[in-house]
Amino acid sequence: MSTMDDPRKYPRATWRVIIHPPLDGATNMAIDEAIAHAVQAGSSPPTLRFYDWQPATLSLGYAQPFADVDIERLRSRGWGVVRRLTGGRAILHVDELTYSVAVPVSDPRVTGGVVESYRKLSQGLMAGLETLGAAVQSDKAEDEAHRFKGPVCFEVPSDYEITVNGKKLIGSAQTRRGGGDVVLQHGALPLCGDVTRICEVLAFEDEAAREEARNRVAGRAATLEEALGRAVSFQEAAQAMQEGFARALNLKLQPGRLSAAEQAEAARLRAEKYAADEWTQKH
């Protein structure tokens, strides 16, 4: 049985949907912020974006210490690093579907505080995963999640993040820009591969601590392939998630692309912010 709220409680709305090919981390983060600026200004409609990363990239939460990164191990693998505008802990973006949502805070799908808007947006994510056959849950996190201070996003679920068989399946983070006028939320759905790879490029006291972290992540996180027992492509996952958002949140999703103004703003943000050490290494 579906766990979805009744979508009829939301007025019918049209959002833009954009699907991008793999891009580097600085470009992806700059595009998300540029879209949020345009949505805030009213020059672009609410937007749902799906994308991937090339090369594999470690993203840090807004206030996460850069000291959490073992930069030499990261560089030796040819992986990138970027700091997100949103909070939370580190994610290694590889073999995944990433989504972002930029929507005015006045939209009933994101009204309320951060936790409440997480819960509402998770309905779209859950509906997409249910379309693929995953038996998912989204509940209030146990007290352990609020106490745990490890560097890896997927070590424990936060409030209303999505789990399968008790393991975290999607890691999401949110920020409110422009005095709180617009919500930007993005998150990662690992499709396949080894979810413990992130531990290879984080700083630990010794190899025993690294192995403990690997074991925690392996026990608390899952890929979509593990959840379903079959491989799911980026294209199949993106299509299912579009269907889930449309159905659960009463949306018409209109395919679109970045405006010229958004492209220019993204290029500026990439050069001045996300590709700059001053931003990436700020904490």
Active site members = 153
Beta strands 182-190 and 167-177, pairing class: antiparallel
d(CA 121, CA 211): 34
φ/ψ of 136, rounded to 5, equals: -110, 160
d(CA 15, CA 195): 32
Return the number of other C-beta atoms located less than 10 Å from residue 218's C-beta. Answer: 15
Q: Which residue has the tokens 């799908």?
A: 109
d(CA 158, CA 138): 10
- On whether the CB atoms of residues 256 and 16 are closer than 8 A, the answer is yes
